[in-house]
Structure 1
Amino acid sequence: MSDVAISVEHLSKRYKLYEKPSDRLKEALGRKVNVKEHYALHDVNFQIQKGECVGIIGTNGSGKSTVLKIITGVVNPTEGEVKVDGRISALLELGAGFNMEYTGLENIYLNGTMIGFSREEIDQKLDAILSFADIGEFVHQPVKTYSSGMFVRLAFAVAINIDPEILIVDEALSVGDVFFQSKCYRKFEEFKKMGKTIVFVSHDLGSISRYCDRVILLNKGVILDSGNPKEMINLYKKVLVQMDGEKNKAAGTEKEGVFERPFSRNPNVLEYGGQEAEIVDFTIEDENGLAGNTIEKMTPFTIKYKVVFHEDVNAPIYTFTIKDLKGTEITGTNTMYERVTIEPKKKGDSQIVSFTQNMNLQGGEYLLSISCTGYENGEFNVYHRLYDVCSISVVSDKNTVGFYDMDSEITVQDSGE
């Protein structure tokens, strides 16, 4: 018996792009029209072993969802073939396969029947499905009244309780709350221990890092590489750097900056101050010196910015603050707290300040603010502040309690009693 659960061989998917919707009809009637061909996938090859949890990552339009749809038979390939050994359960799109007018309970039986179970077999699995979904009396209401979170809870509960040998999930878990996600990932671990196969597409690099044995990186319909999660996430960040440069060049917005910055400045940044000094550029760098706003937890990173002085400033203070998305200030520091004395600056002077530290925050999304401030004649002055200038994404394969990780070392020994 083969150890391969999924084999993808020379897989291509080609779509026709028409200049106008009516051109599709004209072509069907035998008339010649201008058509461009777009390859969503081009000669893709990979194998997934039984019992593996494999993540597929890539930018929007890289072909991730197309691969999954072909594997599950939702979409036919233009070329190549897919071989699957095992019963597949797929959670591809929110509510896919659900009838919006039916109740949650009716949809459980509908989905089970579509998969091939008898009503008696679904009866046996019903308690497990309802317990996992945990949506209470809403199971008797039409699903069109459900929130997106309730929808995904029920859909995932059905998908994992039909005893599949291969589970395929495409982004759907990002809809559920953190407690439901935790329950789903515990189920992933159970599945892995039972020797089942999981294929997981997500933009959540933390989850990819935490749960996947191997990661496949797609870009523009081709496989760039595959390997361990850390290596593939680092390669993905390099792809993002390259993409941002290409976008800027194509849009004619490429500027001569002091630093490389392959991520966006907040277009709605709150900017204020007396302008005696000005922050003219900034960036974030990871432990390898690679510019980007995606940082792995427990690794060093650097916040860096350049300040130009338009007036004499006696004792400038450089600062940064990191907040969560709710606006709560989580951490931050400045040159005064760190006892770094900055000498008086004259008009026309400039400096580059770098704050390097370990990223101990939990995995998630944060906001960065930076500023140049100081005291003149005993009064505090803001010379230039960029409030929520950009986001920072922290990738984590282990989250603890609260905002940050104390990086505890644990020893356990028998007491001898």
Structure 2
Amino acid sequence: MTTQIVVEKLGKAYRQYKNNYSKLKTIIFASKNPDNFKRKWVIKDVSFSIGPGEAVGIIGINGAGKSTLLKLITGTVSSTEGSIKLQGRVAALLELGMGFHPDFTGRQNIYMAGQLIGLSVNEINRNIKQIIEFSEIEEYIDQPVRVYSSGMQVRLAFSVATAIRPDILIIDEALSVGDAYFQHKSFERIRKFKELGTTLLLVSHDKQAIQSICDRAILISGGAKVMEGTPEEVLDHYNALIADTSPRKTPPVKVVDPVVSENKKDKNKVQLTSGTGEVELINIALTDDEDRQIEVVKVGQTVVLKLTVLAHEVLKELVIGYVIKDRYGREIFGTNTHYFNKTLLDVQKDEQISYEFKFPANIGEGNYSVSIAAHMGSSHVVKNFLWKDVAIVFNVINADYETFIGSSWIPPIIECSR
């Protein structure tokens, strides 16, 4: 397999001058005297490669260096060290309306932006009709882009960038601006390109997008690559990174804190446990409505998720939540006691608390896992006592209902008249 993107020991540093005189002296005399400035590294020693038809997601907290990394790869920013090799035609959506002139019409900007990504005028002429149709802004196409909404701009930008299937498609959060319909439409085109061999590099905070499209994911923190692996594994570590895993501050490139541990649940699953440790999960089970523990669930069957936690410290408040994920790591459903006004206050040290979450398993056939969180507030990001991935696994079969596809059982009432 011919590799289409190769990044080796890539680094980007910006100079921070002591004062304007130091900056002037450096510019005039081309001085490299380190006494005049210091380097601020925003990307450091990043390496990875991607083959044709592969999709890789870049994730990380704001300011981690994700967008800078993509700008280095596309050549809009020069690197300080390292190398980048790209093979094939590249199309990139790095910023909303990038390459658009606000006073030019949408049609004029199609030609300008198209040529910026390497399309010839003849290629644009042959594809302009489908570019306009895909963007669905025909009635505005001859108006200045400055009157476009952000959603209209991203529609047009995506339509231009994907008018002809690129060898490499790079997207930085741009599609998060469009409406839900256009996002579905865009991701369907991306999936089709991927099947045809397009290499995809995607930066997104949308975990569902990363999990459903990408084959691998890379976690960036403090400008460094700290993890590369399956989307599910990397997103679990990302959750641990953004959670308050310790009362002290940890280095920006350190993901697995001493209170974060992992073990192999089975050969395909990595189980991650993180948190400050005030709460321990001591028991968890999935039962039917007759209190029998089960591992196989029928579609629509009423089940009870039972768990017991132990408080190792006095807690001002305690919220318990869970997330059901499919085998690709995509979140099917999640909630917590905060949203149901069941937050416990003034939990005592060594107190054991049992919870039962009763619900109908209106989900499709397949394997599912449940992740458990104990925290303060509405989310484990606020104050994370405990996060345990793959705390329990179960299988869903369809034994009683009509055949259906998808992750949810939503039976219709069908009427037919002639």
What TM-score do you get using the length of structure 2 for normalisation? Answer: 0.64
CA shift digits 1:295-344 (9 cap, x unpaired): 96247x784xxxxxxxxxxxxxxxx463xxxxxxxxx4769xxxxxx9xx
Which AA in structure 1 matches 2:222?
A: K
State the partner residue of 1:240: 242
The offset of 1:35, in angstroms, is 3.1
Are 1:108 and 2:89 an aligned pair?
no
Aligned pair in 2 of structure 1 residues 194, 57: CA closer, same or farther (>3 Å)? same
Aligned identity (percent) is 39
SS at match of 1:158: helix
Structure 2 distance, partners of 1:141, 1:246, is 54
SS at match of 1:140: coil
CA shift digits 1:226-277 (9 cap, x unpaired): 1111111111112223677455999xxxxx99569xxxxxxxxxxxxxxxxx
Q: Is the 8 A contact 2:66 2:220 kept in 1?
A: yes
The offset of 1:105, in angstroms, is 0.6
Aligned pair in 2 of structure 1 residues 114, 221: CA closer, same or farther (>3 Å)? same
Aligned pair in 2 of structure 1 residues 355, 181: CA closer, same or farther (>3 Å)? farther
State the partner residue of 1:297: 331
State the partner residue of 2:170: 168
Number of residues paired by the alignment?
313
The offset of 1:211, in angstroms, is 1.0
CA shift digits 1:375-410 (9 cap, x unpaired): xxxxxxxxxxx9xx43589xxxxxxxxxxx974499
Aligned pair in 2 of structure 1 residues 286, 11: CA closer, same or farther (>3 Å)? farther
Structure 2 distance, partners of 1:21, 1:131, is 52
RMSD of equivalent CA atoms: 4.1
State the partner residue of 1:201: 203
**Which segment drifts farther, 232-241 or 170-179?**
232-241
The offset of 1:120, in angstroms, is 2.5
Which AA in structure 2 matches 1:131?
A: E
Q: Which runs of 5+ in 1 are unaligned?
A: 251-255, 261-277, 289-294, 304-319, 323-331, 336-341, 363-385, 394-404, 411-417
Aligned pair in 2 of structure 1 residues 103, 79: CA closer, same or farther (>3 Å)? same
Which AA in structure 1 matches 2:3?
A: V
Aligned pair in 2 of structure 1 residues 107, 244: CA closer, same or farther (>3 Å)? farther
Structure 1 distance, partners of 2:52, 2:160, is 22
SS at match of 1:208: helix
Are 1:282 and 2:357 an aligned pair?
no
State the partner residue of 1:117: 119
The offset of 1:113, in angstroms, is 2.3
SS at match of 1:106: helix
Aligned pair in 2 of structure 1 residues 235, 124: CA closer, same or farther (>3 Å)? same
State the partner residue of 2:232: 230
Q: Is the 8 A contact 2:10 2:43 kept in 1?
A: yes
State the partner residue of 1:77: 79
The offset of 1:199, in angstroms, is 0.6
Q: Is the 8 A contact 2:362 2:410 kept in 1?
A: no
Aligned pair in 2 of structure 1 residues 239, 19: CA closer, same or farther (>3 Å)? farther
Structure 2 distance, partners of 1:41, 1:226, is 16
State the partner residue of 1:12: 11
Structure 2 distance, partners of 1:18, 1:246, is 31
SS at match of 2:197: coil
State the partner residue of 1:159: 161
The offset of 1:131, in angstroms, is 1.2
Structure 2 distance, partners of 1:215, 1:223, is 11
CA shift digits 1:91-143 (9 cap, x unpaired): 00001111111011100011122233332321111111111111131111111
SS at match of 2:39: strand
Structure 2 distance, partners of 1:142, 1:207, is 32
The offset of 1:282, in angstroms, is 2.9
State the partner residue of 1:325: none
Which AA in structure 2 matches 1:390?
A: S
Structure 1 distance, partners of 2:92, 2:77, is 13
Which AA in structure 2 matches 1:174?
A: S
Structure 1 distance, partners of 2:322, 2:10, is 35
Matches within 5 A, 1:38-187: 38-187=40-189
Matches within 5 A, 1:385-396: 389-391=377-379
What TM-score do you get using the length of structure 1 for normalisation? Answer: 0.64
Q: Is the 8 A contact 1:259 1:283 kept in 2?
A: no
